[in-house]
Amino acid sequence: MKKEKNSLDVDPNEMKAWTEEALNLIDSRVFRITDEGPLHAPVSHFTIRRNEDLALILETEAPGDAKSRAQERPSGAVWMSTDEVKLTSLAGPSATLTGVERRDTRRVTDQTGKSTIHEIYSCHTLQVDLGEASTGVYTVEWLKNLPSYPFLWPDSISTVVETSVKRIIANEEDGITIPHSDSREGFSRSAARLTVDGRVLYVVGTDRNARHGEPDLGYVIYRGTPDDELRQKIRVALSFALGTYLVDLGCTTYTQDWQIVRARARTGYSLGGMAFKLGSLPLAPLSTAPYQFHIERAPLNRAVSALVAVYDSFDLGNLSWAYWHACAATVHTAPAQFGAAIEALGRAYLRQHQTIAQSILNAEEWKELQGTFAELLDQSGLGETQKEGLMKNFGRLNQVPQRDVLKAILNEIGIELGPEEAAAWGRRNKSAHGMPIPEGHELSAIRDMTLLKTLFHRMLLRMTNATSHYIDYASLGIPHRRLEAPAA
Q: What is the pLDDT of residue 207?
A: 62
Query: pLDDT for 298-329, tens place per residue?
Result: 999 999 999 999 999 999 999 999 999 999 99
Apex 368 CA angle, 362 and 372, nearest 5: 140
CB of 97 within 8 A of CB of 83?
A: no
Whether the predicted pLDDT of 488 surpasses 50:
yes
Mean pLDDT lowest for which of 129-133, 328-332, 439-443, 464-468? 439-443
Query: How far is residue 213 from each of residues 19, 49, 144, 145, 276, measured CA to CA in Å?
Result: 18, 21, 13, 12, 10
Q: What is the pLDDT of residue 170?
A: 33
Query: Which residue, 176, 202, 460, 169, is CA-closest to 341?
Result: 460
Percent of the chain with pLDDT over 70: 88
Whether the predicted pLDDT of 410 surpasses 70:
yes
Other CB atoms within 10 A of residue 331 CB: 16
* DSSP single-letter state for residue 214: P
Query: pLDDT for 43-72, tens place per residue?
Result: 999 999 999 999 999 999 999 999 998 888
Residue 130 zone, left/alpha/beta (φ > 0; ψ -120 to 50; rest): alpha
Contacts 24+ apart (CB under 8 A), 359-367: 359/398, 359/399, 359/400, 360/397, 360/398, 360/399, 360/400, 361/398, 366/398
Task: Say whether 146 sits in a helix, a strand or coil.
Answer: coil
**Banded pLDDT at 19 (limits 50, 70, 90):** confident
**Banded pLDDT at 292 (limits 50, 70, 90):** confident
- What lies within 8 Å, CB to CB, of 435 at 6+ separation is none
Alpha helix stretches (DSSP H) within 120-197: none
Mean pLDDT lowest for which of 98-112, 349-363, 462-476? 349-363
Q: What is the pLDDT of residue 17?
A: 53
CB of 175 within 8 A of CB of 168?
A: yes
Query: pLDDT for 394-405, tens place per residue?
Result: 878 888 888 888
Whether the predicted pLDDT of 191 surpasses 90:
no
Q: Average pLDDT of 415-423?
A: 92
Task: Say whether 471 sits in a helix, a strand or coil.
Answer: strand
Query: How far is residue 263 from each of residues 88, 95, 109, 136, 253, measured CA to CA in Å?
Result: 14, 9, 37, 11, 6
Q: What is the pLDDT of residue 387?
A: 84
Q: What is the pLDDT of residue 214?
A: 63
Query: pLDDT for 212-241, tens place per residue?
Result: 556 678 899 998 999 999 999 999 999 999
Q: What is the pLDDT of residue 14?
A: 52
- What lies within 8 Å, CB to CB, of 411 at 6+ separation is none
Whether the predicted pLDDT of 189 surpasses 80:
no
Q: Average pLDDT of 111-135?
A: 91
Strand segments (E) across 212-329: 217-223, 247-254, 260-266
Q: What is the pLDDT of residue 344?
A: 95
Query: How far is residue 476 from each of residues 215, 264, 288, 398, 460, measured CA to CA in Å?
Result: 28, 45, 20, 41, 23
Q: Average pLDDT of 179-188?
A: 46
DSSP 390-451: HHHHHTTTTBPPHHHHHHHHHHHHT----HHHHHHHHHHHHHHTTPPPPTT-HHHHHHHHHH
Judging by DSSP bridges, how do beta strands 84-89 and 56-63 pair with one another? unpaired
Quote the mean pLDDT of the chain: 85
Q: What is the pLDDT of residue 366?
A: 85
Mean pLDDT lowest for which of 52-66, 352-366, 461-475? 352-366
Whether the predicted pLDDT of 94 surpasses 90:
yes
Distance (Å, whole) CA 317 – CA 306: 14
pTM equals: 0.85
**Banded pLDDT at 168 (limits 50, 70, 90):** very low
Q: What is the pLDDT of residue 208?
A: 52
Query: How far is residue 39 from each of residues 84, 127, 182, 263, measured CA to CA in Å?
Result: 9, 18, 48, 23
- What lies within 8 Å, CB to CB, of 237 at 6+ separation is 196, 303, 304, 305, 307, 308, 311, 316
Q: Average pLDDT of 148-174?
A: 58
Query: Which residue, 166, 208, 170, is CA-closest to 190?
Result: 208
CB of 93 within 8 A of CB of 130?
A: yes
Give the type of residue at 261. Answer: V
Q: What is the pLDDT of residue 148?
A: 84
Q: What is the pLDDT of residue 182?
A: 43
CB of 113 within 8 A of CB of 138?
A: no
Q: What is the pLDDT of residue 188?
A: 62
* DSSP single-letter state for residue 73: -
Query: Which residue, 179, 40, 16, 36, is CA-closest to 97?
Result: 36
Distance (Å, whole) CA 339 – CA 429: 8
Give the type of residue at 96. Answer: T
Query: pLDDT for 329-342, tens place per residue?
Result: 988 889 999 999 99
Whether the predicted pLDDT of 177 surpasses 80:
no
Give the relative orientation of helices 402-413 and 419-432 as an angle to the nearest 10 degrees: 140
Distance (Å, whole) CA 149 – CA 208: 7
Distance (Å, whole) CA 456 – CA 444: 18
Apex 350 CA angle, 346 and 355, nearest 5: 130
Query: Which residue, 143, 296, 297, is CA-closest to 234?
Result: 143
Query: How far is residue 320 from each of residues 42, 168, 236, 237, 327, measured CA to CA in Å?
Result: 43, 57, 7, 9, 10
Q: What is the pLDDT of residue 426?
A: 83
